[in-house]
Amino acid sequence: MILGTAAYMAPEQAKGRSVDKRCDVWAFGAVLYEMLTGTRAFAGEDITDTIVSVISKEPDWAALPPSTSLPVRSLLRRCLDKDSRRRLRDIGEARLALETANDPAPAPVSQVRLRQSPLVWVLAVIAVLSLAGSAVALWQRPAAVEKISARLTIPLPPGAEITSYPAITRDGRTVAYVTQQGTEDSQLYLRDLNSFEARAVVGSSGAKQPFFSPDGKWVAFFAQGQLQKAEVAGGAPIRIVEASYSFGGTWNDDNTIIYTATIRSGLLRIPASGGTPETLTSPDGAAAGYAHVFPQALPGGRRVLFTTWGQTQGSAMLSLDSGKWEMVLPATTFAAAMFDASGGSIGRLLVVDPTAGIRAAPFDPASPARTSADASLLSGVYSDIENETQAWLAISNAGPAVYVPGNPAGSSLVWVDRQGKIESFGKEHDVYREVSIAPDGTKAVVRHGTNLWIHDLQRGTRIPLTSGNNSSNFLPQWSSDGQRIVFASNRGGDWDFYSQPADVSGPAEPRLKRPYDQFPYSSLPDGTILFSELHPRTGRDLWIVAPDGKTSPVRVTPYNEMAGQFSPGPAGGPHRIAHSSDESGRYEIYVQAYPGGANRVPVSNEGGTWPTWSRDGKELFYVTGDALVVAAAQPDGSFGAPLKLFDRSNFLLNYRFRSYDVSADGKRFLMIQRDPASVPRQLNVILNWPEELKRLVPTGK
């Protein structure tokens, strides 16, 4: 921990390392320097600047008065040596040095005593007071030192972006975070706060959602459809269990891991060494919600905080002893609460709001009761409204906290041509997430947060399609004639898809309702809809539903098939289906004939998601790790080499949702531009979170 007054801290103390009496020698030297010069040896505009000065800068030795003797100058340098091994080892040596500081030669005892007055006696008093103060601080340290709330940042390499929420060990020493750069897969990194460098976890390709073991010796994460773990000290990841579509995990004190394997799996528990998962909770699509996600073990190891989505929505607490759970923080959004254990067993629930602010609710796990998040804390904390709905914030028990700054609402709608030239479309900023252009090109349905709006692309006006029904609505698609909009919604308890008139003249009507969760992607002129089904064993599979309601599989495998798109053409075909699949270990684009699935060919070779056909079917656009690209469709059914159109880093492009669309003439794209400040490109560290919390939230709130 970092405890002390910043201007008088030794470097090892400012870094939170072990301390001994040599820190007091340093403090004595800092006081002596200040007495002689009238200025502090180490100063800054604030605490953080002062600590940086202590660690990296030298005092201004030229500021010492010319009359300062060489022995005193030498003493100061020995007291203020940044290497504690070379520092003066005992304050008694300082007294001996000061007694003879002004003596050019031996003198009678009476004369020496006269020369000691007044400077030496003043310095001797300083030494006694410094030692006495140190003794009190060591005996009663928490009450005698100033607690600081210093901050620092962990920047990323140029072009890198954080893609999942961070984690921190309970002792606050090590941070885990996930980044992605260009076409590379995401990678897990570990950063010790006493180190200048981060280190990659070798073999963690595709990592997300990290969390630590209670002792901080292991880091767990999800990657390649599995729950894995790796030693923090180094070593290859070890597979624990399958988890095809994870939504968070936590490592409990009893050395078990509680996790969500898929959106419908509920909470599962497994020994950290592996074994057979045990079901702890069971979503039912009704009163128990359709998903139980983002578990967090609470102090004591017998209770778990988690979030439920569906008819019952908010954060709940599960008793591992009784197996029962109860709602503690009701919500109308997807936001997942986390428990702040930095204050001990009684603390606060923290939840991110739609403005990227953190709000706090008092909470005692031992006596759970419904609470509300009314106190405002941090602002500008990133979250992912669809995938990882908890704040990208992690808090240790020992004091440090880490978060990812950014605001998902910092986005706007723009047109982009093939060369990447941007043309603004409206000035409003919002949580824009998806776009789909009408067949005639005059309108677009746009998702704002969790609701759908119809935008008039010619006049710049908009009207709500789904707002006000207290549900979440994703993946909007126009019918081929532009008369209706099909979209997925959880308004019925789980995820089904609905159809609604595009002119908002009538309510949404269920188009398909069956077990598990279904999400529409594309439609044919005869009303056939291509959709994905999220199955607990096979992950995301592609199906169709015919106009008469009959369903049939298109592609059902152990892998995830997503974002299926029918090629343009008449109702009777022929057609092809472009889709993404992670069968190779990462998402790539494939095309196959419809119906039948014959002549399946790969299109991408450096990663690919969200394929979109041009209106004439001669080109296929898709997103790679670093660009929007296009591949020309050949007469023989093959595709030409992908051609990069423009860099994607300025735009929101999500592998699960259509966040861009192509104009009817294929010359420009409706996209969601991100404000630079909204992009998650660094981590912020608060070294003493409890003190920050006391400043932000008055006692009892």
Length of the chain measured in residues: 701
Percent of the chain with pLDDT over 90: 49
- The predicted-structure confidence for 87-132, as pLDDT tens digits, reads as follows 987 888 888 778 766 665 444 444 434 344 455 545 555 554 544 4
- Please, are residues 165 and 209 in contact by the beta-carbon 8 Å criterion? yes
Q: Which CATH class is domain 151-408+680-696?
A: mainly beta
pLDDT, average across residues 585-612: 91
Percent of the chain with pLDDT over 70: 90
Q: Which stretch of DSSP H or E encloses residue 476?
A: strand 473-478
pLDDT-derived band of residue 521, with 50, 70 and 90 as boundaries? very high
Question: Given this chain, do its domains 151-408+680-696 and 411-674 carry the same CATH topology?
Answer: no
Q: Flag whether pLDDT at 31 surpasses 90.
A: yes
342-350 contacts: CB < 8 A, separation 24 or more?
342/395, 342/396, 342/397, 342/398, 342/399, 342/401, 342/689, 342/690, 342/693, 343/690, 343/693, 344/299, 345/299, 345/300, 348/375, 348/693, 348/697, 349/305, 349/315, 349/373, 350/377, 350/391, 350/393, 350/395
pLDDT, average across residues 542-554: 93
Average pLDDT of every residue of the chain: 86
581 or 399: which leads in pLDDT: 581
Where do the structural domains in the chain lie, given as residue ranges? Answer: 6-144, 151-408+680-696, 411-674
Q: Which stretch of DSSP H or E encloses residue 174?
A: strand 174-180
Q: Which stretch of DSSP H or E encloses residue 13?
A: helix 11-14
What dotted CATH number matches 6-144?
Answer: 1.10.510.10
SS3 217: coil
- What is the DSSP-derived secondary structure letter of residue 320? T
Q: Flag whether pLDDT at 195 surpasses 80.
A: yes
pLDDT, average across residues 141-147: 44
Q: Flag whether pLDDT at 141 surpasses 60.
A: no
pLDDT-derived band of residue 144, with 50, 70 and 90 as boundaries? very low
pLDDT-derived band of residue 477, with 50, 70 and 90 as boundaries? very high
Give the start-end residues of each E strand in 536-690. 539-545, 551-555, 561-566, 575-581, 588-594, 601-602, 609-613, 619-623, 627-632, 643-647, 660-662, 668-674, 682-686
pLDDT at 138: 41
pLDDT, average across residues 476-501: 89
pLDDT at 139: 39
- Please, are residues 541 and 579 in contact by the beta-carbon 8 Å criterion? no
- The predicted-structure confidence for 38-93, as pLDDT tens digits, reads as follows 999 998 877 777 887 888 889 999 899 988 888 888 899 999 999 888 898 788 88
- The predicted-structure confidence for 221-264, as pLDDT tens digits, reads as follows 999 889 999 999 998 999 999 998 899 999 999 999 999 998 88
What dotted CATH number matches 411-674?
Answer: 2.120.10.30
Q: Indicate the residue type of 508.
A: A
End-to-end, the C-alpha distance of the chain in Å comes to: 26
Q: Indicate the residue type of 333.
A: T
